Chain A
Amino acid sequence: MNRLSADNVTLGYDQRVIAEQLSVEIPDHSFTVIVGPNACGKSTLLRALSRMLKPSEGRVLLDGQTIHSMPAKKVAKTLGLLPQSSVAPDGITVADLVGRGRYPHQGLLRQWSPEDERVVQESMASTGVAELADRYVDELSGGQRQRVWIAMALAQQTPLLLLDEPTTFLDIQHQIDVLDLCADLHEEQGRTLVAVLHDLNHAARYATHLIAMRDGKVIAEGPPSEIVTADLVERVFGMRCQIIDDPETGTPLVVPAARKGRVRDAVGGLGR
């Protein structure tokens, strides 16, 4: 059985229902990416998986237990989350911020152990921010800052890590940089990663397991090379396209169909 799953959950805010009777399994040791159009419920699903949103029906299971009845710190040692809305306190250094990821492992009288120190150094090293340790977080570029937040989540030392749109607001080179970092964390450290991504091509390139959602329902799930088809993209995003092999990686690459009159003559017609 997989460690993290949602079992028949109904999700929403106040009276507004966003997803009904949704069931999702996160395969262990996968890099799972959730995609779908805006307001399809992908971020809501991630919030439910991370215990932040309580389903009105059904339950989210972590290691066979209902996640919402588990002690907060116990969950925080197993499952980490990098939310979209994070605030770096004024005048905080990189090392200090990354150190805060150790919170679930600490206590009133166990505030900063040699183990904490070691894990923080390792987390900064594996995200490439070790040399920024003494810099103030407000001075960093957007890409560097996102690496620092990922380092903080790593310092939490959770086998499962959830990322809510980790590439939003970043330049294209930093987006790829962060995704490469995630892939490394998945491959080298064997962590299970779950990310919500906007860009379908990024998802298809990096995910080992893809979950495509629309209107609060899972339309398809599986390895991108098996499930990403022109038909699926049309059903999920309502957009016609061609699927070609990514010349760099061989993974599916989605090429949106052009408007009539903008199609290159030589190609002739729209590929389906």
Chain B
Amino acid sequence: MKAPESAPKPKAPSQRAQGTPIRALRTAGGLSVRFELRPLVTVVALLVVALAASVVLIGTGDFQIPASDVISTLLGNGSVAHEFIVNDLRLPRVVVGLLVGAALGLSGALFQSVTRNPLGSPDIIGFGQGSTVGALVVIVLFKGSAEAVAYGSLAGGLVTGVLIYLLAWKRGVHGYRLVLVGIGAAAVLTAVNGYLLTKAQIVDAARAVVWITGSLNGRGWEQVGPLFWFCVILIPLVFAYARPLRMLEMGDDVAYALGVRVERTRLVLMTAAVLLTAAATAAAGPVAFVSLTAPQLARRLTRSPGPNLLASMVMGATLLIAADLGAQRVFGADQLPVGVVTGVLGGGYLLWLLAAERKAGRI
């Protein structure tokens, strides 16, 4: 048996019309940037939804403001009363929501890609639980201020990240080891949190439970600041490593052969993901399921392989804002923590998509 004759070389790129054709923007100088149409459209559509939901969310509350007034106020043409309500009270909450959602979506995509496992999300493998330990220690043992709780949570998340990385290390960090070690750590940390809650006085326990659920209530510009800087520094760093990450998805050996510095790429990206998760959790508490569902939802909408970083990030922001809007519209302002809704909304949407995919035979 002989290998088939070399097929005549297809001349035009239009030869591969279906699937997801590779497109690129090219300049005369030889620069080229690759893009795919469907993911791009998905990202734009999600952005539109996120911004629209943000505007409606800003107008929602005890004092309703029509969307047109919200927009004109945001552009600097609003009345004094509107300006106070929009810019000082409600905008920071929405900005925190967008940033938290974006950070969680992005870090979820990073972890799921590095571990090559959808269960490798930071909320499954112990980071949320670690942040919670930090926060609960501050709430229960020290009765600290909101600011102290944020620092405690940040510290808890980072320490957990380092510990899990070290425990999972064996000639490099491998996906399933990280997931198993992380799930083990999550179980231990959950037990610690349970113990802390039983030791707490009833007032502290109530405060702790609200924090654990994840909430945007009462978030102001002071939460935006640190989170914003984390995002400004880490997000470009992550995108600079997106191409090597894409190669890593084919296995360490293939990535090595293609010239990727495997361990360094993984270390940089996991550090960035841990920092993003910890910063987001410090600002809003461990909002459930955004890290887990956002990348899965994004991938199903873009129908594109690869880490889908941008789409996951925008999906995270959209999901969180939509959940907060839903919580406020249905249950009234500040009644229901957003974490409850992200769990229901994100989980439900994912189940629905999975069911739809099964019907379409794509699973």
One of A52, A87, A108 near B240 (C-beta < 8 A)? A108
> Is the beta-carbon distance between A121 and B253 smaller than 8 angstroms?
no
Q: B80 in the interface, Cβ–Cβ < 8 Å?
A: no
> Is the beta-carbon distance between A88 and B250 smaller than 8 angstroms?
yes
Q: A181 in the interface, Cβ–Cβ < 8 Å?
A: yes
Q: How far is the CA of A89 from the CA of B256 in the complex (A)?
A: 16
One of A111, A113, A131 near B7 (C-beta < 8 A)? A131
One of B9, B23, B246, B259 near A73 (C-beta < 8 A)? B259
Q: Which chain B positions have C-beta within 8 A of A96?
A: 19-20, 22, 305
> Is the beta-carbon distance between B253 and A103 smaller than 8 angstroms?
no
Minimum C-beta distance from A49 to chain B (A):
12
Q: Which chain B positions have C-beta within 8 A of A176?
A: 1
Q: How far is the CA of A104 from the CA of B257 in the complex (A)?
A: 9
One of B15, B24, B306 near A133 (C-beta < 8 A)? B15
Q: B16 in the interface, Cβ–Cβ < 8 Å?
A: yes
Number of interface residues of A (CB under 8 A): 62
A121-152 residues at the B interface, CB under 8 angstroms: 121-122, 125-128, 130-131, 133-136
Q: A254 in the interface, Cβ–Cβ < 8 Å?
A: no
A153-174 residues at the B interface, CB under 8 angstroms: 153, 156, 173
Q: Which chain A positions have C-beta within 8 A of B359?
A: none
> Is the beta-carbon distance between A91 and B303 smaller than 8 angstroms?
yes
One of A93, A153, A173 near B20 (C-beta < 8 A)? A93
Q: How far is the CA of A91 from the CA of B17 in the complex (A)?
A: 17
B223-266 residues at the A interface, CB under 8 angstroms: 240, 243, 246-247, 249-254, 256-261
Q: B76 in the interface, Cβ–Cβ < 8 Å?
A: no
Minimum C-beta distance from A80 to chain B (A):
6
A212-245 residues at the B interface, CB under 8 angstroms: none
Known contacts: A72-B261, A122-B9. The answer to whether A87 contacts B303 by CB under 8 A is no
Q: Which chain B positions have C-beta within 8 A of A128?
A: 3-7
Per-position contact with B for A67-107: 1 when CB-CB < 8 Å, else 0?
Answer: 00000111111001111111111111101110111011010
Minimum C-beta distance from B222 to chain A (A):
36
Q: B18 in the interface, Cβ–Cβ < 8 Å?
A: yes
Q: A184 in the interface, Cβ–Cβ < 8 Å?
A: yes
| B interface: dominant SS | loop
> Is the beta-carbon distance between B20 and A75 smaller than 8 angstroms?
no
Q: How far is the CA of A52 from the CA of B252 in the complex (A)?
A: 10
> Is the beta-carbon distance between A112 and B24 smaller than 8 angstroms?
yes
Q: Which chain A positions have C-beta within 8 A of B68?
A: none
Minimum C-beta distance from B128 to chain A (A):
26
Q: How far is the CA of A97 from the CA of B305 in the complex (A)?
A: 10
One of B8, B19, B32, B247 near A112 (C-beta < 8 A)? B32
Q: A110 in the interface, Cβ–Cβ < 8 Å?
A: yes
Known contacts: A52-B253, A125-B7. The answer to whether A75 contacts B259 by CB under 8 A is yes
Q: Which chain B residue has the least Cβ–Cβ distance from A122?
A: B9
Q: Which chain A positions have C-beta within 8 A of B13?
A: 117
Q: How far is the CA of A90 from the CA of B187 in the complex (A)?
A: 30
Q: How far is the CA of A95 from the CA of B34 in the complex (A)?
A: 14
Minimum C-beta distance from A169 to chain B (A):
15
Minimum C-beta distance from A13 to chain B (A):
8
One of A83, A111, A153, A173 near B32 (C-beta < 8 A)? A111
Known contacts: A89-B305, A91-B305, A110-B31. The answer to whether A81 contacts B17 by CB under 8 A is no
Known contacts: A87-B251, A100-B250, A180-B2. The answer to whether A108 contacts B257 by CB under 8 A is no
Residues of A at under 8 Å CB distance from B? 13-14, 50-52, 72-77, 80-93, 95-97, 99-101, 103-104, 106, 108-114, 117, 121-122, 125-128, 130-131, 133-136, 153, 156, 173, 176-177, 180-181, 184
Show 16 A/B contacts (Cβ-Cβ < 8 Å), sorted by A.
A87-B116, A89-B306, A91-B299, A93-B19, A96-B22, A100-B246, A103-B247, A103-B259, A110-B30, A112-B32, A112-B34, A117-B13, A126-B6, A131-B7, A134-B16, A181-B3
